[in-house]
Amino acid sequence: QLDNTIALHQRKLDLLKEQKKGFLQKMFPKNGAKIPELRFAGFADDWEERKFLNLAEVRRGLTYKPSDVQKYGIRVLRSSNIAEDTFLIKSDDVFVNKKAVKIDNVKNGDILIASANGSSRLVGKHALIEGIENDTVHGGFMLVARAEKPEFVNAIMSSSWYSKFINIFVSGGNGAIGNLSKSDLEDQKVYVPSEIEQTKIGLFFKGLDDTIALHQRKLDLLKEQKKGFLQKMFVS
């Protein structure tokens, strides 16, 4: 019964991820087109070309020494704080001495981006920062984008434009570490709609991401419960 429940939740989660993928393909313009295939009612204007730096301010992260690390202090966000498209505060997060911090704190609503990683596949992954309560910065292998329409910018960074950008501009492979440059990202040209349409699209995808994260948490909890029962219901 537990296995069946876990399988059911896994199918629901997979279906939601597929739906999101479909909406991302249809709700953003493809290959130089100026309008997407699918739109909210009442919007008909062409989308306009902008540079990414006109949508968001991109900031580099903190470089720190091993001697700066301590048990408490300023939290440093790393690529492990992004699980797929979801932001996580983790029990094994690194904290550094306040004196080592020479950059501004991140805020809820900023977009955390992995700019370098041992695996090229993980470079470019991103998530909206949520639930930060104490002083927090992002680490040296990360970028942060601060936007007026963060939900929209985070969504457009899941569209085909961004995947192409990562494939072309992030060098890597052959064991090399892929690297996403701040200036390359800022220079990218993207098509965007009016601010009202940006808000609607952003909130739509934020709702989808929240639902996916909720189902993921349910699934993880069920798997933990199964593990607990397996330990207690068999003789060791």
Q: What is the CATH number of the domain that holds 187?
A: 3.90.220.20
Provide the pLDDT for residue 122. Answer: 84
- The model's pTM is 0.90
Q: Which pLDDT does position 172 carry in this prediction? A: 53
pLDDT in the model for residue 177: 58
- Report the domain count for the chain: 1
- Token pair 């899941």 is found at 158
Q: What is the mean pLDDT of each run of 10 residues along the chain (236 residues)?
A: 96 96 95 91 95 96 93 94 90 93 96 84 91 94 96 96 88 62 94 97 96 93 96 90
For 116, list phi and psi in degrees, rounded to 5. -150, 145
Full 3-state SS string of the chain: CHHHHHHHHHHHHHHHHHHHHHHHHHCCCCCCCCCCCCCCCCCCCCCEEEEHHHHEEEEECECCCHHHEECCCEEEECHHHEECCEECCCCCCEEECHHHCCCCCCCCCCEEEECEECCHHHCCCEEECCCCCCCEEEECCEEEEEECCHHHHHHHCCCHHHHHHHHHHCEEECCEEEECCHHHHHHCEEEECCHHHHHHHHHHHHHHHHHHHHHHHHHHHHHHHHHHHHHHCCCC
Would you state the pLDDT for residue 63?
Answer: 93
Q: Give the pLDDT of residue 3.
A: 96
Q: What is the pLDDT of residue 153?
A: 98
User: Could you list the residue range(s) of the whole structural domain that residue 123 is in?
Assistant: 2-232
